[in-house]
């Protein structure tokens, strides 16, 4: 199987062709030292004035930008360019072919012409046309539609008996604990990317990230079974070398390899070698496909041939890998001679897979210490290539994976998309007006300008609209992911590490301050300039009047729509903070902690401190050329300083305190009313018919980052699970019972708008705090909730801080195990808010965690080596994340997580003090709490059986030995076990001549004779014969 990521700037993969002419293989005429290309980027400089028009369509663009050129067959292209004065090697109009300085030539033959002009003279015209049509850019399926290609072939042999062994090995993988686990891998030098099974990922405990790349097989058929990507660390056989790579996660890589057992007469020739797979001849599952990303590192380059008609031995870091052809003595006509390296399920639904994560059990894992190599490269690239202008603004470079990559066909794609956009705007004058205003503003601000420079990538653009406060707002979207023949620009960019602060940490910290304010960075991305040499990748097409010619514009700033844009924006903000830290210490701390992309939400204990902080933030942002707008605060004094426009770094837009206006705003997706200083929800019940699609759409629209209404969302997710169990289609009718239950929830959704949650969860007085956690489970799922107790001289109050729920898996699982999963969820929830806790002053009060399961509490007090694997792994991680001695028992009536684990309707949650504040005794001093004692259950489930190893000395012929013989189930087992005992006795006495390996025939004979002798020595009377008869003949 061949797999490749088509990110190359100067090659386009044309699939499905036979590059062998009749009677002679192409590889025999190929000179290995020459470099070849399928598509060569055109030369630099201006076109010759006499040869500036396209020879194909006579328009003013280059050959490589001509869509009609790609519609032609290679022979037709060659005929069209026969009298052309330009270069037929690089397709430039600046020089003749004989003067071409390019080091590349045709990919398919040694001649000095472009690969797009190569055709086979000995194949029929019909076949040539058919092959080329498959690869034409305007056909129904273009090879550029995907960025990952997986070529796989599965053929049934003819009367020939030749079979093929694909290389396999056993490799050492490093799991999340740093321990070694061994998995069987397949080695494939034709795959540019490595692949790993989900089963292997779960066993290793690796973190899985989203994979944007698509996978296609031979002929361009899509494989949509990629579950994500992960970073793997592999060690050599002797553990001396370490290999790190990024692998795509799939459900299944291939069927068992080899496809059938290799005959003994074949594999016996390889027994004397140090093999990477000691039983390569036995069909076994494959968990990892090692591609070309590691192939060159693990292969040592030495090849050993045992015999010409046998597979070859290739030396590697794992040992000798057996690979190649052999002649099978008894061929099977029904056997497949090679295998498909992927087994895609045509009915697989990626969205259904994502939904199943609502209820799948998570394996206990530790945070991965492995850095993504691409993230390291992106960071190093930024550090080495950014600079500041005298004005303070930053200039950055686009982090390209390969330098000077180009996308010649992007122009024709962008032009076609622009023409469609113009047609749409003509039909909607108001939309057209807004679009023109947007583009005009882009030009007036200096963020875009006309250009005549060569385009390396032309970005298509379109608009999306959204209704906000009764107004239709337009947003122009730049599509950096559009696929061309050379892939997309986003595929060629380093995305960079995620630098955003967790929204939950920002919102929790937002609840800490008495005086708070929020603001928005104005056009944050567009305040950062892109280096002029990289702006050729940010060209767009535009005109204000359809009668004018379409012009090329260049975007001068960081463009949203490029995959690297979030990283560049946030990394630039980090750099600004680092550069100006000493001048603005308070603002530097806040901007490192309380900003999510361009949304700021922070505060201070008093008004004076908040004003000082506001001044510093404005000053710091101004140093980098950034301005702030959309100010809102729970105190009018904060707004007065920005409403007068006294600062150049502020915008006059702010939220007023007028009683005639709605003051509620969105803060990081959560509705906040600055006047009442409370959080709330705005719910609109759906009016469409009930189906799997509408139910999922309703659930997805509820954004609850802190889990305030988790019991309600838990109930709604339960409906999604029920529909998933029924295997209904997205628009299939739903049963009346489910419809009635769903309609009851929908009818009450508007009640959630009545919930008012105090934003300020602390105290303006001197205080101490204590975190209290609760965990519970039911057959439906499990829940974890964290509360914070604020202890002052006046009294004690308690607030719900955050919560999380998870549905029980489809497969039945015991209640104690679910309770354990709830306890682990609580431990993880506690660990996840460490960033928030680090901003609080130290507390003298010990945090407490409660569960109403005495079994779970008993497991926590039991050594993990005595517990079965499922329980031991989870108890071990709970012990890593929390102090085991801080876990206590609580009865179910006082456990607020009981509400979350069963689900609750909105009317039940609206006025439920147990959920919003916890049990009433949380407002008492700790020594006044109920004493819930729990005894260790002596008959705990999930305990390993106690096994005792005893070394005994057996005297042959003794009654104990005969009793032991009578308990053996079969004669053959008796002989084998006796042979093992005899070997142990021999090795104990003869250290110099140890017996090892598989039991030999002579040892089995010796054991049989010994058993008969011992038996005969013992039975000396008829009574003994009757009493101890153990052998039957």
Per-residue pLDDT tens over the stretch 990-1002 = 877 888 887 888 8
| Model confidence at 122: pLDDT above 80 | no
Preceding peptide of 4 cis, ω within 30°? no
Q: How far from the centroid of its chain's Cα atoms is residue 588's Cα?
A: 31
Q: Bigger pLDDT: 239 or 344? A: 239
* pLDDT tens sequence across 477-509: 999 999 888 889 999 999 999 998 889 999 999
DSSP 304: E
Q: How many CB atoms lie within 10 A of CB 649?
A: 19
In the predicted model, what is the mean pLDDT of residues 384-394? 95
Residue 253 in tokens: 């890589």
What global pTM score does this model have?
0.62
Between 466-480, 524-538, 563-577, 654-668, the lowest mean confidence (pLDDT) is in 654-668
pLDDT for 507 equals 94
pLDDT for 612 equals 95
pLDDT for 967 equals 76
Q: Tokens 């030292």 correspond to what residue?
A: 33
Residue 125 in tokens: 């015209």
pLDDT for 533 equals 94
In the predicted model, what is the mean pLDDT of residues 151-158? 39
CB 211 within 8 A of CB 199: no
* pLDDT tens sequence across 631-653: 999 999 999 888 755 444 455 45
| Model confidence at 11: pLDDT above 50 | no
Q: Bigger pLDDT: 539 or 111? A: 539
Residue 784 in tokens: 């974890």
In the predicted model, what is the mean pLDDT of residues 794-810? 93
- Look at the chain and count its residues: 1033
pLDDT for 220 equals 54
In the predicted model, what is the mean pLDDT of residues 94-121? 75
Q: Bigger pLDDT: 145 or 52? A: 52
In the predicted model, what is the mean pLDDT of residues 998-1020? 79
| Model confidence at 21: pLDDT above 70 | no
Between 296-305, 560-569, 768-777, 944-953, the lowest mean confidence (pLDDT) is in 944-953
In the predicted model, what is the mean pLDDT of residues 544-561? 94
pLDDT for 221 equals 53
Cα–Cα distance measured from residue 407 to residue 488, given in angstroms and rounded to the nearest whole number:
8
pLDDT for 693 equals 83
In the predicted model, what is the mean pLDDT of residues 936-958? 62
In the predicted model, what is the mean pLDDT of residues 137-160? 37
pLDDT for 786 equals 97
Cα–Cα distance measured from residue 792 to residue 800, given in angstroms and rounded to the nearest whole number:
18
Q: Which of 189, 192, 15, 43 lies closest to 104, judged by CA?
A: 43
pLDDT for 469 equals 61
Q: Bigger pLDDT: 124 or 547? A: 547
pLDDT for 473 equals 80
| Model confidence at 937: pLDDT above 80 | no
In the predicted model, what is the mean pLDDT of residues 868-896? 93
Between 548-557, 725-734, 752-761, the lowest mean confidence (pLDDT) is in 725-734
Q: Bigger pLDDT: 818 or 952? A: 818
pLDDT for 255 equals 77
Between 13-27, 662-676, 817-831, the lowest mean confidence (pLDDT) is in 13-27
In the predicted model, what is the mean pLDDT of residues 462-479? 80
Mean pLDDT of the chain: 80
pLDDT for 914 equals 96
Read off the pLDDT band of 947 (50, 70, 90): low
Cα–Cα distance measured from residue 613 to residue 621, given in angstroms and rounded to the nearest whole number:
12
Highest-scoring range by mean pLDDT, 54-68, 88-102, 134-148, 551-565:
551-565
In the predicted model, what is the mean pLDDT of residues 872-878? 92
| Model confidence at 88: pLDDT above 70 | yes
- Report in angstroms the alpha-carbon separations of 24 from 14, 19, 119, 840: 21, 10, 16, 77
Q: What percent of the chain has pLDDT over 70?
A: 78
pLDDT for 212 equals 67
Read off the pLDDT band of 370 (50, 70, 90): low
Between 253-267, 499-513, 893-907, 919-933, the lowest mean confidence (pLDDT) is in 253-267
Read off the pLDDT band of 153 (50, 70, 90): very low
Listing from the earlier edge strand, what are the strands of the sheet with 515-521? 595-596, 599-604, 515-521, 628-633
Read off the pLDDT band of 379 (50, 70, 90): very high
Positive or negative, the Cα torsion across 202, 204, 208, 214?
negative
Between 59-63, 151-155, 411-415, 510-514, the lowest mean confidence (pLDDT) is in 151-155
Q: Bigger pLDDT: 643 or 662? A: 643
**Secondary structure E strands in 35-111:** 35-37, 104-106
Cα–Cα distance measured from residue 117 to residue 88, given in angstroms and rounded to the nearest whole number:
8
Burial label, 201 (beta-carbon count in 10 A; 0-12, 13-18, 19+): buried
pLDDT for 297 equals 87
In the predicted model, what is the mean pLDDT of residues 82-97? 83
* pLDDT tens sequence across 292-330: 888 888 988 888 888 888 899 999 999 999 998 887 654
pLDDT for 1022 equals 43
Read off the pLDDT band of 738 (50, 70, 90): confident
pLDDT for 961 equals 67
pLDDT for 781 equals 94
| Model confidence at 241: pLDDT above 80 | yes
| Model confidence at 1016: pLDDT above 60 | yes
Q: State the pairing for strand pair 515-521/628-633.
A: antiparallel
């Amino acid at each position: 199987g061949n797999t490749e990521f088509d990110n190359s700037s100067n090659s386009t993969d044309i699939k499905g062709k036979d590059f062998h002419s009749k009677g002679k293989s192409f590889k025999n005429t190929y000179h290995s030292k020459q470099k070849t290309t399928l598509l060569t980027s055109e030369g630099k400089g201006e076109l010759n004035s006499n040869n500036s028009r396209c020879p194909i369509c006579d328009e003013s663009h280059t050959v490589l930008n001509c869509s009609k050129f790609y519609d032609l067959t290679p022979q037709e292209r060659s005929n069209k360019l026969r009298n052309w004065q330009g270069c037929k090697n690089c397709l430039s109009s600046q020089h003749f072919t004989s003067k071409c300085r390019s080091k590349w030539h045709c990919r398919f033959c040694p001649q000095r012409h472009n690969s797009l002009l190569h055709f086979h003279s000995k194949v029929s015209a019909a076949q040539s046309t058919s092959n080329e049509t498959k690869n034409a850019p305007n056909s129904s399926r273009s090879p550029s539609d995907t960025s990952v290609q997986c070529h796989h072939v599965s053929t049934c042999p003819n009367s020939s008996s030749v079979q093929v062994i694909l290389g396999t090995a056993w490799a050492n993988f490093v799991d999340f604990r740093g321990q070694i686990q061994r998995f069987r891998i397949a080695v494939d030098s034709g795959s540019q990317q490595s692949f790993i099974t989900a089963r292997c990922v779960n066993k290793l405990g690796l973190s899985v990230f989203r994979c944007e790349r698509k996978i296609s097989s031979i002929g361009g058929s899509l494989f949509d079974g990629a579950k994500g990507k992960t970073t793997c660390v592999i060690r050599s056989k002797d553990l001396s070398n370490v290999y790190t790579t990024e692998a795509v996660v799939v459900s299944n890589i291939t069927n068992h390899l080899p496809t059938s057992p290799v005959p003994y007469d074949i594999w016996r020739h390889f027994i004397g070698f140090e093999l990477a797979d000691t039983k390569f001849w036995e069909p076994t599952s494959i968990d990892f496909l090692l591609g070309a990303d590691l192939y060159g590192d693990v292969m040592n380059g030495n090849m050993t041939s045992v015999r010409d008609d046998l597979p070859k031995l290739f030396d590697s870091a794992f040992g000798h890998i057996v690979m190649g052809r052999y002649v099978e003595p008894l061929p099977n006509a029904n056997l497949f001679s090679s295998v498909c390296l992927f087994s895609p399920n045509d009915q697989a639904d990626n969205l259904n897979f994502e939904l199943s994560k609502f209820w799948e059990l998570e394996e206990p894992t530790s945070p991965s210490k492995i850095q993504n190599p691409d993230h390291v490269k992106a960071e190093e690239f930024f550090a080495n290539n950014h600079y500041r202008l005298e004005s303070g603004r930053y200039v950055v470079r686009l982090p390209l994976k390969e330098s000077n990559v180009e996308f010649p066909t992007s122009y024709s794609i962008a032009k076609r998309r622009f023409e469609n956009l113009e047609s749409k705007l003509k039909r909607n004058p108001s939309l057209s007006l807004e679009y023109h205003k947007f583009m005009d503003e882009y030009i007036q601000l200096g963020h875009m300008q006309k250009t005549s420079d060569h385009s390396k990538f032309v970005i298509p653009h379109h608009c999306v609209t959204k209704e906000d406060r009764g107004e239709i707002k337009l947003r122009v979207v730049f599509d950096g992911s559009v696929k061309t023949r050379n892939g997309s620009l986003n595929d060629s960019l380093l995305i960079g590490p995620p630098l955003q602060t967790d929204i939950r940490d920002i919102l929790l910290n937002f609840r800490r301050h008495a005086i708070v304010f929020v603001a928005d960075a104005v056009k944050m991305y567009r305040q950062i300039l892109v280096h002029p040499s990289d702006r050729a990748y940010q060209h767009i097409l535009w005109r204000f009047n359809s009668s004018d010619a379409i012009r090329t514009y260049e975007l001068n700033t960081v463009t949203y729509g490029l995959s690297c844009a979030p990283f560049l924006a946030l990394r630039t903000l980090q750099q600004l903070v680092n550069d100006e830290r000493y001048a603005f210490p308070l603002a530097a701390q806040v901007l490192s902690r309380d900003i999510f992309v361009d949304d700021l939400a922070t505060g201070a204990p008093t008004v004076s401190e908040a004003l000082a902080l506001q001044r510093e933030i404005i000053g710091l942002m101004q140093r980098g050329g950034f301005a702030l707008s959309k100010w809102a605060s729970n105190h009018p004094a904060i707004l007065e300083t920005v409403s007068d426009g006294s600062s150049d770094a502020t915008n006059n837009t702010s939220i007023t305190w007028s009683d005639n206006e709605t003051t509620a705003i969105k803060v990081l997706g959560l509705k906040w009313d600055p006047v009442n200083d409370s959080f709330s929800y705005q719910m609109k019940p759906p009016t469409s018919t009930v189906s799997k699609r509408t139910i999922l759409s309703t659930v997805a629209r509820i954004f609850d980052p802190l889990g305030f209404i988790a019991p309600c969302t838990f109930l709604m997710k339960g409906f999604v699970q029920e529909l998933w169990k029924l295997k209904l289609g997205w628009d299939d009718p739903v049963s009346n019972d489910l419809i009635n239950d769903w309609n009851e929830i929908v009818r009450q959704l508007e009640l959630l708008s009545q919930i008012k949650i105090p934003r300020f969860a602390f105290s303006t007085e001197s205080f101490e705090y204590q975190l209290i956690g609760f965990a519970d489970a039911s057959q439906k799922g499990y829940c974890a909730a964290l509360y914070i107790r604020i202890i002052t001289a006046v009294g004690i109050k308690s607030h719900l801080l955050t919560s999380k729920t998870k549905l029980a898996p489809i497969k039945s699982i015991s209640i104690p195990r679910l309770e354990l999963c709830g306890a682990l969820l609580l431990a993880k929830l506690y660990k996840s808010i460490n960033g928030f806790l680090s901003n609080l002053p130290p507390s003298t009060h010990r945090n407490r965690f409660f569960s109403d399961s005495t079994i779970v509490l008993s497991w926590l007090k039991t050594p993990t080596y005595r517990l079965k694997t499922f329980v031991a792994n989870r108890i071990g991680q709970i012990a890593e994340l929390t102090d085991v001695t801080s876990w206590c028992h609580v009865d179910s009536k006082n456990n607020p997580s009981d509400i979350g684990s069963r689900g609750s309707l909105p009317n039940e949650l609206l006025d439920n003090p147990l959920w919003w504040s916890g049990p009433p005794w949380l407002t008492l001093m700790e020594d006044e709490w109920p004493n819930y004692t729990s005894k260790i259950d002596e008959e705990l489930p999930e305990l390993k059986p106690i096994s005792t190893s005893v070394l005994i000395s057996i005297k042959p012929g003794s009654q104990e030995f005969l009793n032991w013989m009578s308990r053996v189930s079969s004669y053959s087992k008796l002989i084998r076990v006796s042979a093992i005992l005899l070997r142990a006795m021999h090795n104990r006495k003869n250290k110099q001549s140890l017996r090892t390996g598989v039991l030999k025939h002579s040892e089995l004979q010796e054991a049989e004779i010994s058993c008969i002798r011992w038996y005969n020595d013992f039975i000396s009377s008829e009574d003994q014969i009757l009493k101890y008869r153990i052998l039957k003949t």
